[in-house]
Structure 1
């Protein structure tokens, strides 16, 4: 496999019937996050293009049920895994037979031509088992879960590490949103090849500065309040900056770090200038971005960084972490300011430039608005459609070859 985003499939491949696709996600609605948004948008695009698609996701309290989301069937499936304790092994042995029947039943009911794993976890372990049981072609998309997880599950779970290595070895295609993620999989999980399929953004939600919920001048940060996202680094740098006192920092999102961030802001005597706004809906986030002096992404690591696309879409200047996948699509000084968030002085300097330099902000906004047009969800879905067609065609050739060899015996 090459290292660039797959293009349109050849005419011979396009002429084949549209594959039936099971998108196997680590999490899905009603939960929110980058992976959930990616899979939801891809499912919607595939469905609107006429593909038969289902989402199979981990039961995180819904029970083993089938629901309809955006007109698409979503199966919430149990994924018990054994733990290191005797009690954990016993619970797994009791739960596994029923869980396995649910996964086999999902495959028999939908009859997918392709199983596409998004964000490998327990969902990936069960998808690998289903692939082995039915020989359905497997596609794996890593979203940076091996390196950008606050819980570091891959460091603690030998089962997940082994499952991912084996899945990468048997997958027809492997994709990731950035070259950074592919390189990590090659270095630590034995990946050979791989294609970059970047994230997308909904361009129909541009944002309106007149509707922002926040007054005055403010820098904006958006995301789950977890350690990897680096909001503590941003609070610390902002509190120590020489920005004009009327410039505030607004952080949108929720998560386990909220209380710590509040305490840090108070400790740095900056609580009156830092707003922890909680979670907002996508339209309100777009409006907040449109009204911001700049959007700052201070992550310790980003596999990609959809917030960058959202900032460009809303016409906000972008200050972006240089740790992870962002340097693969953000052009420093052109459509964003790349900075190491672990360097407080550099982060303060980047924010100061974004606030003080009107000409720079105008250039960043213009270039970002132009660049973001390349990152539509339709283009993402088309890249996956080419992958599916190639995987199904290859499986068909192999079945034909095996059948011919068997007849010749």
Structure 2
């Protein structure tokens, strides 16, 4: 089987740095990458069209059955706190649809797989691409406008109704829809032909206790002195980073420090809030770190917090090479259209 995977968010595992202007890596990027690798290991050929940044090759091979193509059209460098650059996902969508239009008659894919997070650009691609290629559509909905998404700006509020209509249309066109949680599956089942719950995947081999010397080196490198509470994720509004400021104040009263692992479009706001609260000596922000260092960073903390304002939080673990079940493991659920 040959799968065309279309997503603006895909992790680039072979980089040591990630320009913040091109939206820092987060959970969706890592999930789409891990899923692609596992499918490739299972013998599924995939071609991924995604966002990249300067320095990445136009086309590269991450696995014998996994190719990643960087899709962008020239765009002005106007900063955005939402996506890094104004028009970033729109640039990807335009380049992707143009490329598919050019290649429509000579493509040999069996299925189109689109990953959605509520952004209009990806929703448009999900509605148009299968028609251009005349191939069945599969959707993975990482964050649903219909079920959990909360608009984060006045412009987002203005676009929300259109986005909901596009998501409903894409879901109804899809041969199958994958949701991360039952809450979202119930909502999408009202329009979907078939819904399956496939929780997020965690590579548990990465989370074996890391060597003590690696944890010690990490703590020394970042100046961690005592008990540490950690946050791991993008520094963006939906991740609830403003809640970290009062948390850091409370931690200081108990002699604990806060470690923030990650980068994001609102990093400057976070650093300014830390400074104004007088917490510069109690809060450490690492910036982007490679994915393989995240387990060490988490092991360096005594407690991890997740103050997200909204998220699917589909943190189940998918079975596959090097993966094991946690809790209920991989759930399968096929509701009828009229399920309330």
Higher Rg of the two aligned structures: 1
- Does residue 292 (structure 1) correspond to residue 301 (structure 2)? The answer is yes
SS of residue matched to 2:47: strand
How many Å separate the matches in 2 of 1:59 and 1:211? 30
Q: Deviations over 1:53-96 (max 9, x none)?
A: 1112257778994332344222334589xxxxxxxxxxx9xx97
Unaligned runs of 5+ in 1: 1-18, 81-91, 310-371, 388-409
* Correspondence 1:4-403 to 2 at 5 A: 19-30=1-12, 32-58=25-51, 65-71=58-64, 72-77=66-71, 100-119=97-116, 121=119, 122-144=121-143, 146=145, 147=149, 150=152, 155-157=157-159, 160-183=163-186, 185=188, 190-191=191-192, 194-206=195-207, 207-208=209-210, 209-212=212-215, 213-214=218-219, 215=224, 216-241=226-251, 244-245=254-255, 247-304=256-313, 373-374=324-325
Instruction: Say which structure is richer in helix.
Output: 1
Moved more, 70-79 or 50-59: 70-79
Give the 3 Å change call, closer, same or farther, for CA 60–164 of structure 1 in structure 2.
farther
Cα 1:66/1:269, change in 2 over 3 Å: closer
Query: How far apart in 1 are the matches of 2:57 and 2:294?
Result: 33
Q: Deviation of residue 127 (structure 1)?
A: 3.6
Number of paired residues? 284
Considering only aligned residues, what root-mean-square deviation do their CA atoms show, in Å?
3.7
- Which whole-Å CA distance do the structure 1 matches of 2:54 and 2:152 have between them? 21
- In structure 1, C-alpha distance between the alignment counterparts of 2:153 and 2:69, rounded to whole Å: 25
Q: Deviations over 1:198-251 (max 9, x none)?
A: 001112222424322124320111110011111220221331357521x21111
Partner of 1:278, secondary structure, is coil
1:373 Cα offset (Å): 3.4
Distance 1:204 1:241, change over 3 A: closer
Q: Could you tell me the TM-score, scaled by structure 2's length?
A: 0.70
Q: Secondary structure at the match of 1:233?
A: helix
Separation in 2, partners of 1:102, 1:200: 30
Whole-Å separation in 2 of the counterparts to 1:201 and 1:276: 24
Alignment gaps of 5+ in structure 2: 13-23, 75-89, 318-322, 335-340
Contact preservation (8 Å) 2:241, 2:307: yes
Are the counterparts in 1 of residues 180 and 198 from structure 2 also a CA contact under 8 Å? yes
What's the TM-score once normalised by structure 1's chain length? 0.59
Q: CA deviation at 1:282?
A: 2.4
- Compute the displacement of 1:142 (Å): 0.9
- Is the 2:262–2:286 contact (alpha carbons within 8 Å) kept by the matching residues of 1? yes
**Whole-angstrom CA distance in 1 between matches of 2:61 and 2:150:** 30
